[in-house]
Chain A
Amino acid sequence: MNTPLLSAKDLTVQFRTPKGPITAVNGIDLTLERGEVLGIIGESGSGKSVTMRALLRILPEAKTEIAGDLKLDGKDVLSLKGHDLAAYRGGDVSMVFQEPATALDPVFTIGTQISETVRRHRKVSRKDAQARALEMLELVRIPSPASRLGNYPHEMSGGMRQRAMIALALAAGPKLLLADEPTTALDATVQIQVILLLRELQREMGMATIFVTHDVGVAAEISDRIAVMYAGRIVETGTAAEVLKNPKHPYTQGLLSSTVQGAVPGTPIKAIPGMPPDLAQMPPGCAFAPRCPLATSACQAAVPDLRAQGGERRVACVRLEEIA
């Protein structure tokens, strides 16, 4: 009864590249209850998108190796094949892409793109699928939805396109929604509207959601829990309030004070010095040690475990007790 909706154990994603293998996601554990919202934050290149794409099994199969254990609602996701895999994608789990302008097919109408998704996952007539598409456009509050069904993506504004993309992602009633920086491509005012819409829909429909963002304010607004990623690993996780108000990992601290919201008023915003490591040549110990102001030789000895800190909180830092 108490099994979580999603559970990932030791999930690892490796890309075969001409320059050798790259480990973009390095043994992460994730659990998500039904209806729960997890925010993932982290610098560019930390593996957030790769994690999301691995969860949906849409990474290019020929050059990708996914290892570990991934279960959604009891389904063994990594062993899915053929029709079961197609039914899983978009049916059990669906994704809102970062750039609706490129993720929507430019030469099909919005109505067709939503209704073909519905028909893919439900045995309904063409007419019922169109009706469902209309219902979805109403749900995401697109004005004059009936006429918008016949629009092509280029006939819509950016915010409207992203609403259509959300309608599409929710059309088959997924249990888990993956939103990978869904507002990065939008204007600031439109961003807020789309975030508020997503939060409302999430509460109404109750699907679990994983939300990737660069924006700490957005993460705080929308997430129940937060996971902080660095170089393919989760370095800190906990409830949104715990992690954002009282970050314990030096990387999380750096990340928060490098944003407008996290900085101490009156002091300049500090960027974390240095660059994330090359994923093809990871340092032996803590991947953040080379950039960490608090690093000692102990940090370079071994990759630190995520250690429980009471409640939901887990942090991967060997010096946690000394620096806290």
Chain B
Amino acid sequence: MLGYILKRLLYAVPVTLAVSIICFSLVQLAPGDPLTVVLPADASQEIVDQTRARYGLDKPLPTQYLLWLSNVLQGDLGTSIASGRSVSSEIGHAIGYTLSVAVLACLLALVAGLALGLVAGYTMGSPMDKIASATAISGVSVPHYWLGIVLVVFFSVKLGWFPAMGAGRSGQSLGDALSFMILPVLTMAAMPAGIITRSVRALVAEKLGQEFVTALRAKGMTSPHIFAHVVKNAAPTALAVIGVQMGYLMAGSILVETVFAWPGTGLLLNNAILTRDIPLLQGTILVLALIFVALNLIVDILQPLFDPRIQRA
């Protein structure tokens, strides 16, 4: 098991490097010169060149990448061009907000997805299954931002139950803080809940149709026992789906955070794009991508706990 974990960690190294290269170079492809944002339009060529040199933008791209990477490895993600603050402190501030909403949304999506998926898979073809599946499909097909806006119109504007925007003030009570989270969490959870429902439904139905389930009944096992067997068999695939959904949820927070003006990494990313703040953009994308890699790593490490055949491969 330890060997397997080490192997997985080693595999993650090249993936992480590739991710860093992509983060770095994608940003270079974006049109526009970041200096136009920080410098006045009539800045002299001399000042432009100086600033360019200060940010290291005058060097060839591979050199820029290596410089950036060596800084990143030392924990220095650079300085935001727009705000002048260090990128790590900007991200550090925002990621807490994103994580709090994302973790709650994950939990909600997980509980709803597993419950609906299990019910639907166990009662395939019944009215219960139809209701659960229809709910799942709506969750998957409704666009995020649209759902966010509808929720705001209904719960904030019409009913006045929850605030529509922002995260509130610092030092507010937990209840107040949560009331700001409810609508973003609901909006974010809808899609992963739908996807988890559909995957779990298909998985459960597939496992229930297998010969070993008949064999379990043939040796006198009753439904709770069989349920435990089905869950353990379905767990590795379900974990993989859940891990990917959580990754999407973190990375995909940009739309939802923009709709709700939620001060997380999504909003940070949005602002970085609008102001062409390259260091901030690179740093944020890198951190989100690394979270994605880490989630996959966790899934890889957990899977063989359920299915011993996986460790061999």
Contacts and interface: CB of A to CB of B under 8 A. Distances in A.
Nearest to A104: B212
A95 B216 CA distance: 11
Contacts, number: 71
A107 B218 contact: no
Interface of A: 56, 58, 83, 86-91, 94-95, 97, 99, 102-108, 116-117, 120-121, 152, 154, 168-169, 172
Of the candidates B210, B212, B215, B307, the one having the most CB atoms from chain A within 10 angstroms of its own CB is B215
A120 B221 contact: yes
Main SS at interface, chain B: helix
Contacts of B309: 106-107, 152, 154
B232 interface: yes
3 tightest A-B contacts by CB?
A90-B220, A90-B219, A103-B215
29 contacts: A58-B217, A86-B221, A86-B222, A89-B218, A89-B220, A90-B220, A94-B219, A103-B214, A103-B215, A104-B212, A105-B212, A105-B215, A105-B233, A106-B233, A106-B307, A106-B309, A107-B309, A116-B221, A116-B225, A117-B220, A117-B221, A120-B219, A120-B221, A120-B225, A152-B308, A152-B309, A154-B308, A154-B309, A172-B220
B218 A90 contact: yes
A107 B232 CA distance: 7
Of the candidates B211, B218, B308, the one having the most CB atoms from chain A within 10 angstroms of its own CB is B218
Contacts of A169: 219
Contacts of B225: 116, 120
A108 B219 contact: no
Contacts of B219: 89-90, 94, 117, 120, 168-169, 172
B306 A87 contact: no
Interface in B204-231: 210-212, 214-222, 225, 229
A87 B222 CA distance: 10
Contacts of B222: 83, 86
A289 to B, nearest CB: 35
A56 B307 contact: no
Given A107-B308, A121-B220, 5 more contacts: A58-B217, A89-B220, A105-B216, A105-B229, A107-B307
A290 B217 CA distance: 39
A171 to B, nearest CB: 8
Contacts of A108: 229, 232
A86 B220 contact: yes
B183 to A, nearest CB: 40
A87 B233 contact: no
A81 to B, nearest CB: 12
Contacts of B308: 107, 152, 154
B215 A104 contact: yes
Contacts of B306: 107
B263 to A, nearest CB: 44
B221 A103 contact: no
Nearest to A151: B308
A216 B212 CA distance: 28
A136 B137 CA distance: 49
Interface string B247-283: 0000000000000000000000000000000000000
A117 B219 CA distance: 6
Of the candidates A97, A107, A117, A121, the one having the most CB atoms from chain B within 10 angstroms of its own CB is A107
A121 B220 CA distance: 8
A107 B219 CA distance: 17
Interface in B232-249: 232-233
Given A97-B211, A102-B210, A107-B233, A87 B220 contact: yes
Contacts of A83: 222
Contacts of B229: 105, 108
